[in-house]
Amino acid sequence: MGDNDSLPAESRYAWFMVVVASVIMGMGAGALISISTFLKPIVTDLGWLRGETSFAYMAGAIAMGIGGIGMGYLSDRFSTRPVVIIGILCLGGSLLLLATSSALWQFYLYYCILGGFGASALDAPLMANVGHWFHRNKGLALGLTTAGRALGQGFVPFASGLLISASGWRDSYNPLGVICFIVLLPMAFFVRNPPG
């Protein structure tokens, strides 16, 4: 008999939380890494150097690391849902702002918002939340959530490439931002604290 056999089975809502967290985290991670798809058209259009343009990713990743600490603390203090809602608003807003970039400092600033207040508010709070929903299958649940996040890192840049081919880089950031508001924001209201 395994150690977990005496623990109660997880509810259906716990598994639904895995899906919600995977989709939201996947969009956040995918949006941050999608600079790989936007890099060439932005460099061509605005005449920036590749190195200085791609520095936006590093700035956003550092901001995400720092922001993750703060967002984890806030989710412990106030619960996960409000932190995730703020993160989605920052994520969507930063994507819409990226479409308006005309100066390098703006591009860096918007990527720092995307990472530091957007993606960071999604990862640590949602991973912790999902973990607390599970007793028997915690490892599996967290593995599936992480896999969903990784899937987003592949899917969002791929979809971005299709959008860029169809309508250019500026008009491709806009639908990504709108998706945050019309898809992710309603999903955030399904985020609940686990029972007990």
- The predicted structure's pLDDT at residue 80: 95
Cβ-based burial of 124 (10 A; exposed 0-12, middle 13-18, buried ≥19): buried
Q: pTM score, two decimals? A: 0.92
Instruction: Name the CATH superfamily housing domain 12-188.
Output: MFS general substrate transporter like domains (1.20.1250.20)
- The predicted structure's pLDDT at residue 1: 45
**45: how many CB neighbours lie within 10 A of its CB?**
11
- The predicted structure's pLDDT at residue 174: 96
Q: List, for the chain, all residue ranges whose pLDDT scores fall below the cut of 70.
A: 1-9, 196
Pick the closest to residue 124 from 86, 194, 73, 89 (CA basis). Answer: 73
Q: What are phi and psi of 175, to 5 degrees?
A: -65, -30
Inter-CA distances, 148 with 22, 33, 116, 141, 145, Å:
4, 15, 21, 11, 5
Parse the chain into domains and list their residue ranges.
12-188
- Alpha carbon distance 37, 35 (integer Å): 5
Give tens-digit pLDDT for 17-58: 999 999 999 999 999 999 999 999 999 999 999 999 999 999
- The predicted structure's pLDDT at residue 11: 87
Place of tokens 């949006």: 31
- The predicted structure's pLDDT at residue 10: 79
Please, how many CA atoms are within 13 Å of residue 48, restricted to the half-sphere of its CB? 22
Coil, strand or helix at 115: helix
- Alpha carbon distance 46, 61 (integer Å): 23
Inter-CA distances, 86 with 117, 123, 137, Å:
8, 13, 29
